[in-house]
Protein backbone atom coordinates (compact mmCIF):
# COMPACT_ATOMS: atom_id res chain seq x y z
CA UNK A 1 0.00 0.00 0.00
CA UNK A 2 1.25 3.47 -0.83
CA UNK A 3 2.43 5.43 2.18
CA UNK A 4 0.67 8.72 2.97
CA UNK A 5 2.59 11.79 1.92
CA UNK A 6 3.52 14.22 4.68
CA UNK A 7 5.30 17.56 4.64
CA UNK A 8 6.99 18.73 7.87
CA UNK A 9 7.76 22.43 7.81
CA UNK A 10 10.67 22.37 10.33
CA UNK A 11 12.78 19.97 12.35
CA UNK A 12 10.87 19.37 15.61
CA UNK A 13 12.19 17.49 18.67
CA UNK A 14 13.36 14.05 17.76
CA UNK A 15 10.88 12.02 19.85
CA UNK A 16 7.98 13.28 17.75
CA UNK A 17 9.91 13.55 14.49
CA UNK A 18 11.11 9.93 14.56
CA UNK A 19 7.52 8.74 14.93
CA UNK A 20 6.33 11.03 12.17
CA UNK A 21 8.99 9.69 9.81
CA UNK A 22 7.62 6.18 10.35
CA UNK A 23 4.09 7.28 9.48
CA UNK A 24 4.58 7.99 5.83
CA UNK A 25 6.57 9.28 2.94
CA UNK A 26 7.87 12.35 4.76
CA UNK A 27 9.54 15.42 3.35
CA UNK A 28 11.24 17.48 6.05
CA UNK A 29 12.13 21.15 5.60
CA UNK A 30 15.66 21.15 7.02
CA UNK A 31 16.41 24.89 7.04
CA UNK A 32 16.63 26.89 10.27
CA UNK A 33 14.17 29.43 8.92
CA UNK A 34 10.64 28.50 7.96
CA UNK A 35 9.72 27.98 4.29
CA UNK A 36 8.25 31.08 2.67
CA UNK A 37 4.54 30.97 1.92
CA UNK A 38 5.30 30.40 -1.79
CA UNK A 39 7.60 27.49 -1.01
CA UNK A 40 5.00 26.03 1.35
CA UNK A 41 2.42 26.29 -1.44
CA UNK A 42 4.61 24.06 -3.62
CA UNK A 43 5.62 21.67 -0.87
CA UNK A 44 2.09 20.81 0.22
CA UNK A 45 0.92 19.72 -3.23
CA UNK A 46 -0.33 16.14 -2.94
CA UNK A 47 0.22 15.94 0.84
CA UNK A 48 -2.12 13.83 2.97
CA UNK A 49 -0.75 15.37 6.14
CA UNK A 50 0.99 18.61 7.04
CA UNK A 51 3.05 19.23 10.16
CA UNK A 52 3.42 22.94 10.75
CA UNK A 53 4.40 25.63 13.22
CA UNK A 54 2.94 28.96 14.24
CA UNK A 55 5.35 30.62 11.81
CA UNK A 56 3.50 29.09 8.83
CA UNK A 57 0.46 30.76 7.32
CA UNK A 58 -2.06 28.02 6.64
CA UNK A 59 -4.99 29.49 4.72
CA UNK A 60 -7.65 28.39 2.25
CA UNK A 61 -5.36 28.96 -0.74
CA UNK A 62 -2.76 26.67 0.78
CA UNK A 63 -5.32 23.97 1.54
CA UNK A 64 -6.58 24.16 -2.04
CA UNK A 65 -3.02 23.98 -3.37
CA UNK A 66 -2.48 20.82 -1.31
CA UNK A 67 -5.46 19.09 -2.89
CA UNK A 68 -8.54 17.16 -1.79
CA UNK A 69 -6.52 14.33 -0.24
CA UNK A 70 -5.21 16.59 2.59
CA UNK A 71 -6.71 15.04 5.74
CA UNK A 72 -4.82 16.49 8.64
CA UNK A 73 -2.86 19.57 9.67
CA UNK A 74 -0.89 18.92 12.85
CA UNK A 75 0.59 22.02 14.45
CA UNK A 76 3.21 22.08 17.20
CA UNK A 77 1.70 24.88 19.32
CA UNK A 78 -1.33 25.41 21.48
CA UNK A 79 -2.28 28.61 19.61
CA UNK A 80 -3.50 28.23 16.04
CA UNK A 81 -4.31 31.79 14.92
CA UNK A 82 -2.05 31.18 11.89
CA UNK A 83 -4.43 28.49 10.63
CA UNK A 84 -7.77 29.23 9.02
CA UNK A 85 -9.66 26.54 10.95
CA UNK A 86 -12.96 27.53 9.34
CA UNK A 87 -11.50 26.85 5.89
CA UNK A 88 -10.11 23.54 7.18
CA UNK A 89 -13.48 22.51 8.60
CA UNK A 90 -15.23 23.37 5.34
CA UNK A 91 -12.80 21.06 3.55
CA UNK A 92 -13.10 18.25 6.14
CA UNK A 93 -9.48 18.70 7.24
CA UNK A 94 -8.78 18.00 10.91
CA UNK A 95 -6.49 20.49 12.66
CA UNK A 96 -4.38 19.30 15.58
CA UNK A 97 -2.62 21.38 18.23
CA UNK A 98 -0.87 20.79 21.56
CA UNK A 99 -2.96 22.09 24.47
CA UNK A 100 -2.42 21.40 28.16
CA UNK A 101 1.12 20.13 28.10
CA UNK A 102 2.65 23.60 27.95
CA UNK A 103 0.39 25.27 30.53
CA UNK A 104 2.71 25.12 33.53
CA UNK A 105 5.87 25.72 31.53
CA UNK A 106 4.37 28.85 29.99
CA UNK A 107 2.98 30.03 33.33
CA UNK A 108 6.42 29.53 34.91
CA UNK A 109 7.86 31.68 32.18
CA UNK A 110 5.24 34.42 32.47
CA UNK A 111 6.13 34.58 36.15
CA UNK A 112 9.83 34.57 35.30
CA UNK A 113 9.31 37.59 33.05
CA UNK A 114 7.21 39.30 35.70
CA UNK A 115 9.90 38.80 38.36
CA UNK A 116 12.75 39.67 36.00
CA UNK A 117 11.06 42.91 35.01
CA UNK A 118 10.07 43.85 38.57
CA UNK A 119 13.61 43.31 39.87
CA UNK A 120 15.41 44.54 36.75
CA UNK A 121 17.37 41.34 36.21
CA UNK A 122 18.26 41.99 32.56
CA UNK A 123 19.48 45.50 33.34
CA UNK A 124 21.53 44.16 36.25
CA UNK A 125 23.17 41.50 34.10
CA UNK A 126 23.98 44.08 31.42
CA UNK A 127 25.42 46.41 34.06
CA UNK A 128 27.83 43.73 35.24
CA UNK A 129 28.74 42.51 31.74
CA UNK A 130 29.50 46.06 30.63
CA UNK A 131 31.91 46.56 33.54
CA UNK A 132 29.91 49.19 35.49
CA UNK A 133 29.83 47.28 38.81
CA UNK A 134 32.26 49.15 41.08
CA UNK A 135 30.59 48.96 44.49
CA UNK A 136 27.38 48.11 46.38
CA UNK A 137 24.97 50.90 45.48
CA UNK A 138 22.35 52.04 48.01
CA UNK A 139 19.95 53.06 45.23
CA UNK A 140 21.29 50.80 42.49
CA UNK A 141 18.64 49.33 40.16
CA UNK A 142 15.79 49.65 42.62
CA UNK A 143 12.76 47.75 41.36
CA UNK A 144 9.28 46.81 42.47
CA UNK A 145 8.18 44.25 45.04
CA UNK A 146 6.18 41.35 43.70
CA UNK A 147 5.13 39.87 47.02
CA UNK A 148 1.82 41.37 48.17
CA UNK A 149 1.24 43.39 45.00
CA UNK A 150 -1.73 43.25 42.61
CA UNK A 151 -1.70 41.10 39.49
CA UNK A 152 -4.14 41.76 36.66
CA UNK A 153 -4.88 38.85 34.36
CA UNK A 154 -6.36 39.55 30.97
CA UNK A 155 -7.73 36.14 30.02
CA UNK A 156 -8.33 33.26 32.41
CA UNK A 157 -7.84 30.11 30.40
CA UNK A 158 -5.51 27.31 31.40
CA UNK A 159 -2.36 29.46 31.36
CA UNK A 160 -3.94 32.47 33.06
CA UNK A 161 -5.18 30.22 35.87
CA UNK A 162 -1.76 28.61 36.22
CA UNK A 163 -0.22 32.09 36.57
CA UNK A 164 -2.82 32.86 39.27
CA UNK A 165 -1.69 29.75 41.21
CA UNK A 166 1.87 31.06 41.19
CA UNK A 167 0.72 34.54 42.18
CA UNK A 168 -1.18 33.24 45.18
CA UNK A 169 2.12 31.90 46.53
CA UNK A 170 3.36 35.49 46.41
CA UNK A 171 0.33 36.68 48.34
CA UNK A 172 -0.81 38.76 45.39
CA UNK A 173 -4.29 40.17 45.00
CA UNK A 174 -5.47 38.86 41.65
CA UNK A 175 -7.86 40.73 39.37
CA UNK A 176 -9.14 39.13 36.22
CA UNK A 177 -10.89 40.27 33.06
CA UNK A 178 -12.40 37.52 30.95
CA UNK A 179 -15.85 38.13 29.46
CA UNK A 180 -16.08 34.48 28.34
CA UNK A 181 -15.66 32.91 31.77
CA UNK A 182 -18.21 32.80 34.61
CA UNK A 183 -17.48 34.93 37.63
CA UNK A 184 -17.75 31.75 39.79
CA UNK A 185 -14.91 30.11 37.89
CA UNK A 186 -12.74 33.20 38.31
CA UNK A 187 -13.53 33.40 42.03
CA UNK A 188 -12.77 29.69 42.41
CA UNK A 189 -9.18 30.15 41.29
CA UNK A 190 -8.68 33.00 43.73
CA UNK A 191 -9.20 36.03 41.50
CA UNK A 192 -11.73 38.88 41.45
CA UNK A 193 -13.63 39.20 38.20
CA UNK A 194 -13.76 42.80 36.99
CA UNK A 195 -13.73 45.04 33.93
CA UNK A 196 -10.69 45.52 31.71
CA UNK A 197 -10.51 49.15 32.85
CA UNK A 198 -10.32 48.08 36.51
CA UNK A 199 -7.71 45.43 35.81
CA UNK A 200 -5.57 47.99 34.03
CA UNK A 201 -5.97 50.82 36.50
CA UNK A 202 -5.59 48.81 39.73
CA UNK A 203 -2.84 46.33 38.87
CA UNK A 204 0.88 46.56 39.53
CA UNK A 205 1.46 43.79 36.99
CA UNK A 206 -0.72 43.03 33.98
CA UNK A 207 -0.25 39.65 32.32
CA UNK A 208 -1.92 38.80 29.02
CA UNK A 209 -3.41 35.34 28.39
CA UNK A 210 -5.86 35.70 25.52
CA UNK A 211 -5.79 33.99 22.14
CA UNK A 212 -5.25 36.25 19.14
CA UNK A 213 -8.60 36.93 17.49
CA UNK A 214 -10.15 39.85 15.62
CA UNK A 215 -11.41 41.13 18.99
CA UNK A 216 -8.11 40.83 20.88
CA UNK A 217 -5.84 42.30 18.17
CA UNK A 218 -4.40 45.52 19.64
CA UNK A 219 -6.69 45.26 22.67
CA UNK A 220 -3.81 46.84 24.63
CA UNK A 221 -3.02 50.14 22.93
CA UNK A 222 -2.57 53.85 23.63
CA UNK A 223 -5.80 54.33 25.56
CA UNK A 224 -5.21 51.20 27.70
CA UNK A 225 -1.69 52.39 28.59
CA UNK A 226 -3.21 55.66 29.77
CA UNK A 227 -5.45 53.64 32.13
CA UNK A 228 -2.48 51.83 33.66
CA UNK A 229 -0.39 52.93 36.65
CA UNK A 230 2.89 54.64 35.78
CA UNK A 231 4.55 51.91 37.88
CA UNK A 232 2.82 49.07 36.04
CA UNK A 233 4.73 46.17 34.48
CA UNK A 234 3.16 44.57 31.39
CA UNK A 235 3.90 40.90 30.66
CA UNK A 236 2.94 39.33 27.35
CA UNK A 237 3.30 35.61 26.73
CA UNK A 238 0.17 35.35 24.56
CA UNK A 239 0.51 36.69 21.02
CA UNK A 240 2.39 39.81 19.91
CA UNK A 241 -0.46 41.53 18.04
CA UNK A 242 -2.57 41.64 21.23
CA UNK A 243 -0.40 44.68 22.05
CA UNK A 244 0.05 47.68 19.77
CA UNK A 245 3.87 47.78 19.70
CA UNK A 246 4.15 51.40 18.59
CA UNK A 247 1.82 52.54 21.38
CA UNK A 248 3.82 50.41 23.82
CA UNK A 249 7.05 52.06 22.72
CA UNK A 250 5.61 55.50 23.45
CA UNK A 251 4.07 54.39 26.75
CA UNK A 252 7.43 53.04 27.93
CA UNK A 253 9.40 56.03 26.66
CA UNK A 254 7.00 58.60 28.09
CA UNK A 255 6.72 56.84 31.46
CA UNK A 256 3.04 55.96 31.09
CA UNK A 257 3.97 52.49 32.30
CA UNK A 258 7.19 51.36 33.98
CA UNK A 259 8.24 48.21 32.16
CA UNK A 260 7.28 45.61 29.60
CA UNK A 261 8.48 42.02 29.48
CA UNK A 262 7.57 40.34 26.22
CA UNK A 263 7.93 36.81 24.97
CA UNK A 264 5.97 37.71 21.84
CA UNK A 265 6.01 40.77 19.62
CA UNK A 266 4.42 42.34 16.58
CA UNK A 267 5.99 41.85 14.14
CA UNK A 268 7.69 38.65 15.15
CA UNK A 269 10.63 38.59 15.22
CA UNK A 270 10.93 42.23 16.20
CA UNK A 271 13.34 43.70 13.61
CA UNK A 272 16.84 44.43 14.84
CA UNK A 273 16.91 48.23 14.86
CA UNK A 274 13.32 48.65 16.04
CA UNK A 275 13.32 51.62 18.48
CA UNK A 276 11.72 49.49 21.21
CA UNK A 277 15.00 47.57 21.45
CA UNK A 278 16.76 50.75 22.60
CA UNK A 279 14.66 50.97 25.77
CA UNK A 280 16.15 49.79 29.06
CA UNK A 281 12.66 49.24 30.46
CA UNK A 282 11.68 46.68 27.85
CA UNK A 283 12.80 43.07 28.13
CA UNK A 284 12.18 41.01 25.00
CA UNK A 285 12.91 37.31 24.56
CA UNK A 286 12.34 35.23 21.40
CA UNK A 287 9.00 33.44 21.98
CA UNK A 288 10.39 30.74 24.27
CA UNK A 289 7.75 30.51 27.00
CA UNK A 290 6.97 26.84 26.28
CA UNK A 291 10.58 25.98 25.59
CA UNK A 292 11.57 23.52 28.28
CA UNK A 293 13.11 20.30 27.04
CA UNK A 294 10.34 18.19 28.55
CA UNK A 295 7.50 20.32 27.22
CA UNK A 296 8.79 20.76 23.68
CA UNK A 297 9.46 17.02 23.57
CA UNK A 298 5.91 16.25 24.70
CA UNK A 299 4.53 18.75 22.21
CA UNK A 300 6.36 16.93 19.42
CA UNK A 301 4.86 13.57 20.41
CA UNK A 302 1.38 15.11 20.53
CA UNK A 303 1.98 16.34 16.98
CA UNK A 304 2.81 12.76 15.97
CA UNK A 305 -0.32 11.46 17.78
CA UNK A 306 -2.52 13.96 15.95
CA UNK A 307 -0.90 13.22 12.60
CA UNK A 308 -1.20 9.45 13.05
CA UNK A 309 -4.89 9.69 13.94
CA UNK A 310 -5.63 12.11 11.10
CA UNK A 311 -3.90 9.97 8.48
CA UNK A 312 -5.95 6.96 9.61
CA UNK A 313 -9.16 9.00 9.49
CA UNK A 314 -9.58 8.73 13.27
CA UNK A 315 -10.60 11.50 15.67
CA UNK A 316 -7.57 13.62 16.60
CA UNK A 317 -6.72 13.35 20.30
CA UNK A 318 -6.01 17.10 20.46
CA UNK A 319 -8.24 18.74 17.90
CA UNK A 320 -8.56 22.47 17.24
CA UNK A 321 -11.69 22.13 15.06
CA UNK A 322 -13.76 19.39 16.74
CA UNK A 323 -16.81 20.66 14.83
CA UNK A 324 -15.62 18.57 11.86
CA UNK A 325 -16.80 15.51 13.79
CA UNK A 326 -20.33 16.91 13.97
C1 LIG B 1 3.20 29.02 21.54
O2 LIG B 1 3.12 30.22 21.52
C3 LIG B 1 2.09 28.15 21.38
O4 LIG B 1 0.99 28.60 20.98
O5 LIG B 1 2.25 26.95 21.64
Q: What is the CATH number of the domain that holds 131?
A: 3.40.50.720
Position 113 scores a pLDDT of: 99
Range of the domain at 65: 5-101+293-325
CA distance 31 to 44: 16
Position 27 scores a pLDDT of: 98
Bridge partners, residue 74, by sequence:
51, 96
CA distance 76 to 94: 14
Q: For the chain, what percent of residues have pLDDT higher than 90? A: 99
Using most ligand atoms within 8 A of CB, pick from 82, 106, 320 the residue to mutate for ligand 1: 106
Distance, CA 290 to ligand 1 centroid (Å)? 7
Residue 268 known to be catalytic = yes
CA distance 16 to 305: 8
Do residues 309 and 175 share a domain? no
pLDDT at 93 over 80: yes
Do residues 301 and 313 share a domain? yes
Do residues 92 and 108 share a domain? no
Position 1 scores a pLDDT of: 72
78 lines ligand 1 (CB under 6 A): yes
Q: Model confidence over 218-250: pLDDT tens digits?
A: 999 999 999 999 999 999 999 999 999 999 999
The tally of domains found in the chain comes to 2
Catalytic hit among 71, 239, 256, 266: 239
Do residues 86 and 204 share a domain? no
Do residues 193 and 83 share a domain? no
The stretch 254-259 carries a mean pLDDT of 98
Do residues 47 and 82 share a domain? yes
Mean pLDDT of the chain: 98
Do residues 273 and 298 share a domain? no
Contacts (Cβ under 8 Å, ≥6 apart) of 283: 113, 116, 117, 122, 259, 260, 261, 262
Do residues 96 and 109 share a domain? no
Q: Model confidence over 152-191: pLDDT tens digits?
A: 999 999 999 999 999 999 999 999 999 999 999 999 999 9
Q: Model confidence over 262-315: pLDDT tens digits?
A: 999 999 999 999 999 999 999 999 999 999 999 999 999 999 999 999 999 999
Nearest CA to ligand 1 atom 4: 79
Using most ligand atoms within 8 A of CB, pick from 290, 291, 299, 306 the residue to mutate for ligand 1: 290
> Cα angle vertex 185, ends 183, 191, to 5°?
75
Instruction: Estimate to the nearest angstrom the gap between the alpha carbon of 279 and the chain centroid.
Output: 23
Do residues 272 and 123 share a domain? yes
Position 326 scores a pLDDT of: 85
Question: For ligand 1, what atom is nearest to the CA of residue 79?
Answer: 4
Nearest CA to ligand 1 atom 5: 77
Amino acid sequence: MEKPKVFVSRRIPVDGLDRIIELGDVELWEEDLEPSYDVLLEKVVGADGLVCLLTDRIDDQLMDAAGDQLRVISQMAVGFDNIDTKAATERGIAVGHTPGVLTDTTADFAFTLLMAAARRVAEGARYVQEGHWKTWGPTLLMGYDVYGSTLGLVGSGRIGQAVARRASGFNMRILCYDPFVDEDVITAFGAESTSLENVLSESDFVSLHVPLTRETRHMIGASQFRDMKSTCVLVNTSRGPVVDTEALYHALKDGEIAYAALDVTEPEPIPFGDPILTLDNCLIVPHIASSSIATRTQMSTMVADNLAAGLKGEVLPYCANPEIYG
